[in-house]
Amino acid sequence: MSAFGSVFAPQMSLARYEQGAWSPAKIVSADSISLHPGAHVLHYSSTCFEGLKAFKHQDGSVNIFRMAQNVERLIQSSELLALPAIHADQVQQMIVDIVKKYADEVPLPPGSMYIRPTHIGTEACIGKAAAPSTTSLLYILLSPVGDYFAGGSKPLRLLLADETRCAAHMGVVKSGGNYASALQPILKAQQAVQADQVLFCPAGDVQETGAANFILIDGNELITKSLDSSFLHGITRDSILTLARDRGMTVSERALSVEELLERSQNPGAEAALSGTAAVLTSVGTLIHEGKEYTVGNGQAGPITNALRQALNDIQWGKAPDIHGWLTKVC
């Protein structure tokens, strides 16, 4: 089986910003793009992206999950990176058009069509370290993906690290540089303590891992860090919190210290999970801190984590009512 996100649709939707205006979007080959070696993105990391999915329902219809929220976040990331302003209507239409073109290629559940809108600065000028790109490129890639848990789901091991994932004021931006800055800590944690991921906890404040938001469940309470600029505002995170409230759970968006996390993770029935587009919710079984391992609850995937993931999957797959208006029907 191909690695997640490594297979692409043969075409993509693309638009350019030049001379102060956006070109009409075109459907073009997805095998390459042309950039000057001095392009702003290659030297000053003027790049941001999104990740969302389209799902095929049993009636044959294709539905995109929370497209408006992903586009809104792409607009925010573009603004914070001083990239040319993008327009929600154009981006959404580009997404719909390319997904509709490949509607027949959208896998049935538990598969989906992963959608990757990307915005990059293209101006050829290496003298702009302190100035934004005046031109840019926006494109929408598609990648059909299968069941994330096809090989089985094993609770993750997380190393708690007293460091930041990225610059604190840039954590809210979905930019490639933020992911790159987390790679070395993750690789070191994998080698040193066989951790799957690093949970970044600067000054003892539990934030996020290299690529996902963190959630602690203790009894009927779900706890996760309140939104600020230091970490990514996950749309899956928001969806899970909404579904937890629908179940009557107490959702606490607040500061969570390492000390409280380790203490509460030892409670009977405690659960921890990572939320993200690819896996929705992945259970965490072990926390590693200062050379000591802490088993979360019984160390296995918990019933609440499983129930919340299934509840979200059921909406995405059209098996449960979409009472929150999260789905956009494409065809």
Report the topology of domain 156-316: D-amino Acid Aminotransferase; Chain A, domain 2 (3.20.10)
Q: List every span in the chain annotated with CATH 3.20.10.10.
A: 156-316
pLDDT tens for each residue of the chain, 331 residues long: 578 889 999 999 999 999 999 999 999 999 999 999 999 999 999 999 999 999 999 999 999 999 999 999 999 999 999 999 999 999 999 999 999 999 999 999 999 999 999 999 999 999 999 999 999 999 999 999 988 766 667 899 999 999 889 988 889 999 999 999 999 999 999 999 999 999 999 999 999 999 999 999 999 999 999 999 999 999 999 999 999 999 999 999 999 999 999 999 999 999 999 999 988 999 999 999 999 999 999 999 999 999 999 999 999 999 999 999 999 999 9
CB 158 within 8 A of CB 198: yes
Q: List every span in the chain annotated with CATH 3.30.470.10.
A: 11-145
The rounded distance, in Å, linking the Cα atoms of 284 and 246 is 23
Please give the pLDDT value at position 253. 97
The domain 11-145 is placed in CATH, from the list 3.40.50.10140, 3.90.1150.10, 3.30.465.10, 3.30.470.10, at 3.30.470.10
